[in-house]
Chains A and B, each alone.
Chain A
Amino acid sequence: MHRKLFVAFNVLLVAAFVWSLAVDYKKDWRDIQAEYFKKTAAAYAEKAKSAKDPKEAETFNQLSKAALREPIMIRQIIAKDLNRIDRCITCHVGMDEFVNPTLTTPHKEHPFTGHPKLGEIVKNHTFQKYGCSVCHAGQGLATSVEAAHGKTENWEKPLAKGALLQASCAKCHMNFQSLKGAEMVAKGRDLFEKHGCIGCHSLHGVGGAVSVDLGNIADKPLERIAPFNLSLIKTKDGKPLPKDDWKLPAWIEAHLTNVPMSFIPNDPHAQYNKEPIAPSGMPDFTQEIKHEGADAITAYLLSMSEEENIPHKYHVIREAKPEPKFASAGDHGKFVFKKYGCAACHGLEGVAGRRNYNAMGAGQPALDDVKADKAKLHEAMAMGREPTLPDVLGTYTREELKKKIQDGVPGSQIAKYNPDGPTPPLYMPAWKDRIKGQELEDLITWLLSIAKKQESW
């Protein structure tokens, strides 16, 4: 019995060791790299066949043989200045400058292709100096597909795709608004200004304080998103956000492609807390901004990183913008309205107030009718609105309006629809320290100009 166990265990131990070696050896990147060189050799052989000049054919044959002789190994770029080691070229061999100096391959399918778009950008950012992940994000150290593309739970930054890739340009190029190739970030910045995001979210301390500062939003750790149920987020096709994508880019984008209230419901009926907590107060931008705009704004926000240790010499300074000139006081007032992000609550050019949960709003049913039904009550509370400016402005004199803008309206003074419900999340900040002098005068001039005329008796 013991003799048999002795023999069996020894045999199994050797087998387990061989097994572990096999597991260690059998890596996807090995197959991929071998496949790449095989394909390359085949392509050269093909060229040799069709070549008319025998000398040329001989060269191609040599190249074909050389490709097959290439060792299968981990290939990496050590980007010293940027403190990165990127092993992406272990699979994407066609993008290794030493193996494939032209960076183009005849292969059509990933990961055997060369680098797409070989224009100025690639020319100015040699791979040996910059590596891959500083632009493309993902996990440069990894050599397995899932991990390298940042899909695993233990990596914060997933591969940057599509418009989001442009966020990386703006990390160094402060002049991204005039930079070729960074159009989406520039567009994101324009949209950010146009829709008044700055009214609530400051950037590095400049802007409103109603919600969080977005100056380093790209560094927000996963741990801070973890408490939210991200399965409440709906993707483009209406499905819940897949677990693979529970990362920062999807989280930022969801604020613009979903109604924020729907995936940050909080506790409006005080079921879990002593006091009711309103759902996310962020207005619903889905109709105005659409998916493409959301992509652009997300790209812009993802460039807001303070953590990345990019040496200062890599930064490109933003050019000065000319001071805008205005034909009339009204035009200036309209610009001021946009500049301070008033549109976030009062709508583009002040046309329509946005949602303010549990505030008073047009079309709300009588409280007593819906009080019993939680779903209906929630719906009615969600109909709360910020005031629609043209409707109410006419009731103010110039002095009253000035005072209102200067002092603002704190949340506690906003009339609640449901007295037992939470304090409405949006409020009018006091602007007296920010909008003053000519800006304030001209803003009021413009505001009064859009007011609906009151009936006078």
Chain B
Amino acid sequence: MPETATPPQQNGGGFKLPDFDTLKKEVIDSQIWRSMFRGGVWKDTPRDRAAHIIGNVWLHLHPVKVRPRALHWTYTWGLGGISFMLFLILTVTGVLLMFYYRPTVDLAYRDMKDLEFAVTLGVLMRNMHRWAAQAMVVFVILHMVRVFLTGAYKKPREFNWGIGVILLTLTLFLSFTGYLLPWDQLAIWAVTVGTNMAGATPFLGNEGPFGALMGMRINNDVRFTLLGGTMVGENTLIRFYVLHCVAVPLITGILLIVHFWRVRKDSFSAAPIDPAEEKVDVWPNLVGREYIAAAGCLLAIMIWSILMNAPLEIVANPNVTPNPSKAPWYFVGLQELLVYFDPWIAGVVMPNLIIVGLMAIPYIDTNPKGIGFYSLKERPFANAMFLLGVAMWFILIYIGYYCRGPNFAWFNPWESWLNQKPAMPPTWNIFGPLEGAVPFTFKMAADIVGGRLGGLEPGVVPNLMPGWLGAIVLGGMGGFLMIGPKLIQKDIPGKTANLAFIGAMAVVAVLGKIFAGLPVMQGLWLVFFAWTGFYFGFLLPQRHIRQLEWPRYLFTMFLVLNTVAVPLKMGARLAFNVKYVLTFPTISLNI
């Protein structure tokens, strides 16, 4: 019977349920409620919405109003917010996992098995932690790419971009330290590969240049400090555990606060100011979108984690090295670089140059155009170089992850690793000491180029030309490429120059085919790699940055030439079996 039909006197003045609105008002106006939440009943006025942001500790990092341009999904894609959400997911699942995990060699792997087989929701927690960690690496990189492409690192946001770069490296380091904790074969060997590179640090590593000079041994260098031993073991596990669970998250958290604070202080969006544009309330416009991005992210990670199990291999065995052993996927690109460069270049110089170069970008890119929107046309040089770098990073990862099999030999992704592979063809050096090396003839060079060199003794590397000549030639070339683009004052027409260069290289390839039997495929590689070097290393800088003042120009060119050197050396190695372009074995200087 409906309540309204009940005559009130029948209750004899007893208890009557108040209607919803009265009850709501009672609750909101109660002392308890008002002591927790400021403001009375929500009336959805601009004042209410502003008070909601200002008066809430979780929301007060937001401004009260924001320009609608900053709210477009297609502007930010929510990438920064998603990265932070992933950090939160990782914190929560990580803390839950800490209840079950003991970082000792005897127990770590067993605890993984317990999580998998005996703990309620253990599999889900571990999967979510694993996949969110991988996703965070991806999303932080995507966030960086987005910020770059919209020019949002330019003045006054230079410093925050730098903080962002540090956060990116911390993300990688967090993921890397976490990689060891399951204590399976995947874990210890990936970490072994990753930390071995530290041993090649100049001055501080026992295998790095000048390391011996500094008195570095395997048991006192920087790698030893990282591992707490000469190999990955119990000490490494506890070190990585503390770094992973306490130290690095703490530093990351502090820098995140700085990062967000700067975003807020730098007026939230780099989108160009349009006087006609009227700001809108952050509540609910921005907060709602943030919630949707975060919820979508959590949902995706949950579904992915329900469907896909995190890998867990056989228990770690320091005596058995898997062949091949690979670094975690985001470092496999650097590992792949080891094929082309000595460890101190691939494992130390390159990553440091990447970090320094990224942080330097806002200070060397003085182009005032293209802030706050995607535009390839207004920033052709910056965008081209940056995308080249990002593309190379992922191409190297792809090659290292999918195309490298046992003995790190090249296997196409569809090939079985059980197929036997012919031994690697012999390698040679272009410049190096001629004493003691196999006397090199041009017929030999032609045979190498043509892939016909079978008779070379393994381990004996022939050098083509003397090292002093190489130093002069490379120095001269480097010097010219450094300053040449700025010295040529006239704008070189892009299309004509490209066609002329490709044509010239094609002629070289054809001549090679006629006189040395250069195979067609290698001819194509020659044209491609040489053109890559020419276009990114010379033509683009000449056309776009020659107006920069000298210090900025030189630093930019230094970074550009280092970037371009990577594909050039890859081409030389993959297509022509060049081990070193220039080698001085006595001082371990090999390029």
Contact = CB atoms under 8 A, between A and B. Distances in A.
* Most chain A beta carbons < 10 A, residue from B117, B124, B317: B117
B320 A221 contact: yes
Interface stretch (B141-149, B173-181, B231-239, B297-305): B297-305
B406 A227 contact: yes
B302 A6 contact: no
A13 B423 contact: no
Interface string B174-200: 000000000011000000000000000
Nearest to B321: A223
B295 A10 contact: yes
A228 B323 CA distance: 12
Contact of B421 (A10, A222, A272): A272
B295 A154 contact: no
A17 B302 CA distance: 8
A74 B292 contact: no
B323 A20 contact: no
B114 A141 contact: yes
Interface in A256-308: 267, 271-274
A237 to B, nearest CB: 23
B254 interface: no
Interface string A1-20: 01101100110110011011
A272 B420 CA distance: 7
B113 interface: yes
A16 B121 CA distance: 13
A224 B303 CA distance: 37
In this complex, the member of A3, A20, A23 whose beta carbon has the largest number of chain B beta carbons within 10 angstroms is: A20
Interface in B105-141: 110, 113-114, 116-118, 120-121, 123-124
A274 B317 CA distance: 32
A20 B292 contact: no
A74 B118 contact: yes
A141 B110 contact: yes
B117 A21 contact: no
Contacts of A16: 299, 302-303, 306
Contacts of A255: none
B252 to A, nearest CB: 25
A13 B314 contact: no
Interface in A229-258: 229, 231
B306 A20 contact: yes
A142 interface: yes
Given A74-B118, A142-B113, A142-B117, A271 B420 contact: yes
A24 interface: yes
Contacts of B510: none
A24 B124 contact: yes
B299 A13 contact: yes
Contacts of B121: 20-21, 24
A96 interface: no
Contacts, number: 94
Nearest to A231: B418
A442 interface: no
Given A16-B302, A156-B314, A229-B418, A9 B295 contact: yes
A143 B292 contact: no
A42 to B, nearest CB: 29
A147 B420 CA distance: 31
A218 B114 CA distance: 26
A118 B137 CA distance: 56
B288 A6 contact: yes
Nearest to A19: B306
Interface in B291-349: 291-292, 295-296, 298-299, 302-303, 305-306, 312-314, 317, 319-323
Interface residues of A, number: 42
Given A227-B406, A274-B458, A154 B120 contact: no
Interface string B392-436: 000000000000001000000000001011110000000000000
B423 A274 contact: yes
B291 A6 contact: yes
A235 B549 CA distance: 75
Given A13-B295, A229-B418, A141 B320 contact: no
A144 interface: yes
Contacts of B295: 6, 9-10, 13
B297 to A, nearest CB: 10
Contact of A223 (B312, B322, B422): B322
B67 interface: no
A190 B132 CA distance: 57
A314 interface: no
A23 B181 CA distance: 25
B312 A143 contact: no
Nearest to A76: B118
B187 to A, nearest CB: 12
Contact of A143 (B118, B288, B323, B422): B118
A274 to B, nearest CB: 6
Nearest to B297: A9
Nearest to B284: A2
B277 to A, nearest CB: 20
Contacts of A147: 117
A13 B300 CA distance: 9
Interface string B446-477: 00000000000010000000000000000000
B314 A20 contact: no
B314 A155 contact: yes
B289 interface: yes
A139 B317 CA distance: 17
B292 A6 contact: yes
Contact of A87 (B117, B317, B322): B117
A222 B185 CA distance: 11
B420 A154 contact: no
A228 B321 CA distance: 16
B111 to A, nearest CB: 10
A16 B124 CA distance: 11
Nearest to A17: B302
B50 to A, nearest CB: 20
A9 B313 CA distance: 35
Contact of A2 (B120, B185, B288, B305): B288
B306 A267 contact: no
A144 B117 contact: yes
Contacts of A222: 314
A143 to B, nearest CB: 4
Contact of B184 (A19, A154, A224, A226): A154
A13 B302 CA distance: 8
Contacts of B123: 24
Contacts of A273: 423
Contacts of B124: 20, 23-24
Given A20-B306, A24-B124, A227-B406, A143 B423 contact: no
6 contacts: A9-B296, A21-B121, A85-B110, A139-B113, A141-B118, A274-B423
Interface of A: 2-3, 5-6, 9-10, 12-13, 16-17, 19-21, 23-24, 74, 85, 87, 139, 141-144, 147, 153-156, 221-224, 226-229, 231, 267, 271-274
Given A142-B117, A223-B314, 8 more contacts: A16-B302, A24-B120, A87-B118, A144-B117, A154-B313, A221-B320, A223-B185, A229-B418
